Amino acid sequence: MELCVFTEDKISDVIQFEQELRRQEPDTYFWQTDASYRQHVEKSFTDELHRKAAVSLLAYDRGRVIGRIDAGYLFTHFDGTVCDAYLDWIAVLKEYRHQGVAQLLLQGLKQELKKNGITSVIVLTAENPEAKKFYDSLENTTVYRGMQLPV
């Protein structure tokens, strides 16, 4: 298994991964991986804001994407620094779960973030039992009360 940065040339691999996730868990993922989805992902690699504010890693096994993690840098004028990132997405194909893939993705993400001076990652956790078990297993974490504020 190997980790690599999600780059534009890997979009087709990611779409195959996303389609396989939906095949395996049709009641979990509610957006389509259609031409519009591909167009948005392609645009994210040419859009200056996305390129500077996003970091994504892929886990491959035998040439196939088996896991993905995506985060964004949080920029504010508060103290003039970038100090946080937001974990937006982490997913692993069912047959690779409980084999350390998500942990590997998270470790790789933390390494990438540290290179850019990030001191913490904000995570809004999923509430399904499998996700809760994963997040509860993470060491050196602090849980805060949160909320979602609609805009």
Stretches where the chain sits below pLDDT 50 are none
pLDDT score for 34: 87
The pLDDT value recorded for residue 79 is: 77
User: What does the pLDDT read at residue 82?
Assistant: 66
Alpha helices in 25-93 (DSSP H): 35-46, 48-53
The pLDDT value recorded for residue 146 is 72
Residue 118 to residue 87: CA distance in whole angstroms: 12
Range 39-44 contact pairs with CB under 8 angstroms and sequence separation of 24 or more: 41/11, 41/14, 41/15, 42/8, 42/11
Q: Residue 48: its pLDDT value, please?
A: 84
Over residues 8-36, the pLDDT tens digits come to 999 999 999 999 999 998 887 777 888 99
**pLDDT for position 103:** 93
Sequence letter at residue 118: I
Give pLDDT, residue 69.
97
pTM listed for this prediction: 0.86
